[in-house]
Amino acid sequence: MSVFSLYKKEEHLKRAMLLLKSDTVTDHVYACLELRFCIEAIVYQKLLHGIKSIPNSIVETWQPHKAMKMLADIDELAVSGCKIEFNLSKTDTPPKDGWLKLGEQKIPPVKWLSKNYNKLGNFLHLIEPQKASEGQSREIKDKIAPIAEKLEHYVAGNIVVTINDIEVNHCPVCNQDFAFSTKKVKHGDIRRCSNFKCGAVFVANQEQGAKRITFNYKTFDVLCQNCGELMVIPEQTVRNIEKFSCSSCNSEYVTKGNYEFALLPNKS
């Protein structure tokens, strides 16, 4: 089944536009929901088309703006607008005329998507007690109308550029899967876990002549003194003398560092 028939972004936008014509605030709130659905449909069309190597743990649980950021880290072209054109001329150099448009990918920039997806979500909650008591109005319609107008451009995209060089690895600290491009990651490259709460650091390793890329994880393996379970602690946490906790029993630990100093010999 085509992703364009599975996720119908145009229908969500159409319903949102109809709701915005109403003078009822409740309809404007539901318009926010439909616009979020529209953004999700655009993103999931992108994720599900030809990216079969990404596991469900990423596709099904990540919020749209996080998924798009992941794709942007892999390949900027994957989340950029582009046109696909072809030419029937048989020449060694690309001709100037005679190009036929096959289709166009229209994807919101990651920053715009993240900002406005969250902005729409804010209107799906009741107004704060203090503002409600003061009789303040959120003026939802005026604030989300520009988002709807912008989405009219993005739903017009009719093709999805496929990424075929994706592999998936597993963070030993937070157990989250992360995807990477085999063409962009080189031996010795430093990567951080895509889970911002984790912060584990990885070093890419690719032996000469080998195609497969593996990662060395800068971590410390420590047994919990309370429950005996193994804790995998990012090296950065230890070096920064930060607190950490056991994922099994929630026991908290503090890192202690012992420092020494020595006099350097006189260079003169």
Q: Could you tell me the CA-to-CA distances from 1 to 4, 5, 106, 195, 220 in Å, in that order?
A: 8, 7, 21, 31, 46
How large is the average pLDDT for residues 241-268? 86
How confident is the model at residue 43, as a pLDDT?
A: 82
How large is the average pLDDT for residues 40-69? 68
Q: Could you tell me the CA-to-CA distances from 140 to 14, 20, 119 in Å, in that order?
A: 18, 9, 10
Higher pLDDT, 23 or 178: 23
How confident is the model at residue 5, as a pLDDT?
A: 66
Q: How far apart are CA 147 and CA 112, in angstroms?
A: 10
Please state the separation of Cα 228 from the chain's center in Å: 35
Please state the separation of Cα 29 from the chain's center in Å: 25
Q: How far apart are CA 218 and CA 173, in angstroms?
A: 10
136-164 tens-digit pLDDT: 667 899 999 999 999 998 888 877 766 66
Tell whether the model's pLDDT for residue 182 goes beyond 80.
no
How confident is the model at residue 61, as a pLDDT?
A: 59
Q: Model confidence at 42, in pLDDT bands (50, 70, 90)?
A: confident
71-94 tens-digit pLDDT: 666 666 666 777 777 888 888 888
Tell whether the model's pLDDT for residue 26 goes beyond 70.
yes
Q: Model confidence at 192, in pLDDT bands (50, 70, 90)?
A: confident
> 196: which residues sit within 8 A by CB, 6+ positions away?
none
DSSP 248: T
The mean pLDDT of the chain is: 81
